[in-house]
Amino acid sequence: MLKRHDVIGEFKLATVAETRDVFEGVFGGGGAIIAAKAPGRVNLIGEHTDYNDGFVLPMAISHGVTIVGRLREDRKVRLRSLDYGESAEFNLDERYDASGPRWSQYVEGVARTFDEEYDGEIRGLEAALTGDAPQGSGLSSSAALEVAAGLLIDQLNGLGTGRVEIALFGQKAEHNYLGVKCGIMDQFASCLCREDHALFLDCRSLEHKHAPMKLRDEVALILDSGKSRGLADSKYNERRAACEEGVRILSGALPGIRALRDVSETQFEEFSRLLPDVVKKRCRHVVTENQRTLDSMQALLKGDMERFGALMFASHDSLRFDYEVSCDELDVLNELAEESPAVIGERMTGAGFGGCAVALARRDGLEDLKAYLSEEYFKKTGRRLKIYETSPARGAAIVD
């Protein structure tokens, strides 16, 4: 189905006022109506490390989800999507049956998670929503939806839930209601990122630091390959299972470990012979990616963008050859980027199997670079590349 806004950049996010107009058209005016916004994210480095208790370094982008809503007296939730021109409805007092359209299942998962966490005290609501992060592109449009819905539910019910908990509830919803065993990175980034900062997150302790990232001579680019992420969810769960198997086997030799986060590169070299080949490759990616993410944070703090870029390229190779979550299109892009002097670093971003790449490029020569990448990418894949300049945006907020 055609989505109203499936392209960043060509997209005009329905403003809060427009969303509110639709809301009032569908549900009527009056009462306390509030709006929440939550951004998507692009992950700079630290891929497939979050569910291994590891480190990630994402930043929020200026595209995401807007939701406008009002509390109801009963426990019904009525939703309207501007993008799909569709409505959905469920009742918190009835069992979840996954019968709603996919977009509504995210909101339903979050509402039900809040209800479980708050002992059945959540009231129903009606809401209209719209999004402008491309879907299925690895930019976390679903986490943005979960966080926006979470913030709205929290605010309407006057709960005062902390930001970290809102992120965790979003992740829980995805596990329990959408069947994707995702890590915490996307919801955390959507909830807690700051403008002009990347977010360094320890996914075990949830300690995080905001690393200043005000780009001057460089620019961050999102490169949308146009290849949508086919069977990404099932392959994602498979990768996760391979990591768990690796931990189980390695813990025979390294009894203290709980996750791949606990295995150093040296230990891995010593004991990787215990692992079956495929599991070994998967684990090698995670162990080396954790180190790259720690190194990238240091490079960012020192302003050493060349080092940062080199680590991005190394990350892509590891995702391509060891974790095997890249695809031809993303590899073509990576090779084109690697041979372009204006590119400092580039890698696929998000879960993979299609979607977007992220690049750090020099501002000088940017137009030539864009033209070169677009032309060559089209020649090699027959697909149109979409390129968007981006800078670190703020996390979710209640807006007027």
Query: Which residues of this protein are in contact with ligand GLA, per CB under 6 A?
Result: 47-48, 50-51, 140, 182-183, 185-186, 350-351
Q: Among residues 140 and 155, whose Cβ is nearest to ligand GLA?
A: 140
In a 3-state reduction of DSSP, which class is residue 27?
helix
By beta-carbon proximity to ligand GLA, the closer residue of 23 and 51 is 51
Q: How far is the CB of 47 from ligand GLA (least distance, A)?
A: 4
- In the complex with ligand GLA, the residue whose CB is nearer, 185 or 263, is 185
Q: What are the DSSP E strand ranges found in the chain?
A: 34-45, 55-71, 76-81, 86-91, 125-131, 197-202, 208-212, 218-224, 343-348, 356-362, 386-390, 397-399
Six token digits for residue 224: 């949308």
Could you give the 3-state DSSP secondary structure of residue 322? helix
For the bound state, the minimum distance from the C-beta of residue 346 to ligand GLA, rounded and expressed in Å, comes to 16
| Closer residue to ligand GLA (CB): 69 or 350 | 350
Q: Which is nearer to ligand GLA, 69 or 246 (CB)?
A: 246
* Nearer to ligand GLA (CB atom), residue 168 or residue 185: 185
DSSP per residue, 163-226: HHHHHHHHHHHIIIII-----SHHHHHHHH--TTEEEEEETTT--EEEEE---SSEEEEEEE--
Q: How far is the CB of 66 from ligand GLA (least distance, A)?
A: 21
Which residue's CB is nearer to ligand GLA, number 351 or number 387? 351
Query: How far is residue 228's CA from residue 3's CA, in Å, rounded to a whole number?
Result: 14
Question: Which two structure tokens, joined as six digits, stand for 235?
Answer: 């392959």
| Minimum gap (Å) between residue 189 Cβ and ligand GLA | 9
Residues paired with residue 174 on neighbouring β-strands, in sequence order: none
CB 282 within 8 A of CB 320: no
Nearest distance in Å: CB 6, ligand GLA: 18
Q: Residue with structure tokens 């670093």?
A: 345
d(CA 367, CA 356): 20
Minimum distance, C-beta of residue 125 to ligand GLA, in the bound complex (Å): 25
**Catalytic (active site) residue 304:** no
8 Å CB contact between 87 and 78: yes
Select which of 50, 53, 132, 186 is catalytic: 186
Distance CA 264, CA 287 (A): 7
Instruction: Give Dmax over CA atoms of the chain in angstroms.
Output: 67
CA distance 383 to 151: 37
> What minimum distance in Å lies between the beta carbon of 50 and ligand GLA?
5
CA 191/CA 396 separation, integer angstroms: 5
Q: Where in the sequence numbering do the catalytic residues fall?
A: 186
